[in-house]
């Protein structure tokens, strides 16, 4: 692609589509809109934290990490981030209660689950899913698109 040429990328997922236009500038308008968005990663395992951090490296987002649902709840009492990414091994009753509290404040809040394994990539609302789900095998390639899509729903 030569400088000044417009690049159009269309992402189609389960009948939904989002279009990102890159005008060749340092950041596309979508990136600018999401730059500075705050994401909380809830993962007790170092390898999951590293995987997610590396996938988000070039996204110009503020990222914080906590190791448990209790730490996430405490963190969110100071103010909600724009999205929460959770390692699936931490899901359970405590997570469900925490998620219900957050959704009580912000009904369309973004949650993304990192599945233990596989190449699953489901956006929220797909087949009734309440949150986006990404298999660990495709986090590097799918997490940026999932974040862009989920966060831009509210813009």
Per-residue pLDDT of the chain (155 residues; tens, 9 = 90+): 444 444 444 444 333 333 333 333 343 444 455 778 899 999 999 999 999 999 998 888 999 999 999 999 999 999 999 999 999 999 999 999 999 999 999 998 999 999 988 888 888 766 666 788 999 999 999 999 899 888 887 66
> Is 76:111 a contact under the CB 8 Å cutoff?
no
Please, which residues have CB within 8 angstroms of residue 109's CB and are 6 or more apart in sequence?
80, 83, 84, 102, 103
pTM of the model as a whole: 0.76
**Amino acid 67: pLDDT:** 96
**Amino acid 121: pLDDT:** 85
**Amino acid 50: pLDDT:** 94
**CB atoms near residue 89 (< 10 Å):** 13
Alpha helices by DSSP H, the chain: 29-34, 46-56, 69-77, 93-105, 139-152
**Amino acid 9: pLDDT:** 41
Please, which residues have CB within 8 angstroms of residue 18's CB and are 6 or more apart in sequence?
10, 11, 148, 149, 152
């Amino acid at each position: 692609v030569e400088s000044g040429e417009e690049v159009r990328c269309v992402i189609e997922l389960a009948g939904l589509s989002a279009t990102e236009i890159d005008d060749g500038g340092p950041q596309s308008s979508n990136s600018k809109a999401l730059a500075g968005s705050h994401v909380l990663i809830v993962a007790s395992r170092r390898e999951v934290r590293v995987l997610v951090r590396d996938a988000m490296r070039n996204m110009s987002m503020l990222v914080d990490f906590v190791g448990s649902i209790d730490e996430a709840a405490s963190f969110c009492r100071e103010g909600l981030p724009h999205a929460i990414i959770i390692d699936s091994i931490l899901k359970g009753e405590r997570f469900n209660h925490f998620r219900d509290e957050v959704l009580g404040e912000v009904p369309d809040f973004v949650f993304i689950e990192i599945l233990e394994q596989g190449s699953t990539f489901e956006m929220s609302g797909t087949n009734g899913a309440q949150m986006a789900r990404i298999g660990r095998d495709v986090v590097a390639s799918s997490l940026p698109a999932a974040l862009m899509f989920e966060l831009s729903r509210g813009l």
